[in-house]
Copies of this chain bind each other. A is one copy, B any other.
Amino acid sequence: MIVEVYRGKRLSVEKKRVALPDGRTHERVIVHPGSAVAMLPIEGEFCYLIRQYRFAVGEYICEAPAGTIDEGEEPEAAAHRELIEEIGMRAGTLIPRGFIYPSPGYTDEKIHLYEARHLAPSAEYRMDEDELIEAVRVRTAEIPAMIRDGRITDAKTICLAYRCLR
C-alpha cells in the first residue's frame, strides 16, 4: 500500500509498506525529488564550479554545475542544458562517470555524473532566473585541498572529484 503524503511541483513524498527480502514488512517514507545530473567541467589546469545560494542550508556553497532532469529528457541532454544554464559553456565531450545515490536512506534520488571536456562559450547562455549563481574558475590541483579543508562540502562535487580527477 502506497500513500502519497505530499506532492509539490518537483518533489513528492510517499509512505509505503515495504517488504524486505526476509519477508518482514515495515512502513517507510520515501522522498522523490527526481533524478539529476552533475558535471565537472575541466579545461586545461582549471575546473569550473559555481557558488550558489542554497536556501535549504541557508548559505552560499561551492559546488559543481548540476540540475534536475526534466520529464522525458535524457541525462546527457540535461547535462548539456545545465552546463549552458549554469556556467554558459557548451561541452564538446561528456564522459559518463557513473551515478551516485546522495541519500539512499530515505530517497531514490540518483545523480548521473559526467566529466565535461572541450568547453566553449555558449551563445545560448541565459541564467536561470530563480537561481543565484556565480561561476568560479578553480585550479584543478587546488580541489583536493578544498575538499579536505571544508571549502567544498557538497557530496556530489566530492564524488565527481573522486571519479574524474584520480
Binding site for B on A (CB under 8 A): 5-6, 8, 10-11, 13, 15, 18, 20-22, 24, 26, 28-31, 33, 36, 53-58, 61, 63, 66, 68, 98-111, 130, 132, 144, 147-148, 150, 153-156, 158-159, 161-163, 166
Contacts and interface: CB of A to CB of B under 8 A. Distances in A.
Instruction: Decide if the interface of chain A is mainly helix, strand, loop or mixed.
Output: mixed
Contact of A144 (B6, B24, B150, B166): B166
Contacts of A156: 103, 155
A11 B29 contact: yes
30 contacts: A5-B6, A5-B8, A8-B15, A10-B106, A11-B31, A28-B55, A30-B56, A31-B33, A33-B103, A36-B105, A54-B101, A54-B104, A56-B104, A56-B105, A56-B106, A57-B101, A57-B104, A61-B101, A63-B104, A66-B105, A68-B105, A99-B153, A101-B154, A101-B155, A103-B155, A104-B154, A111-B155, A148-B163, A148-B166, A158-B159
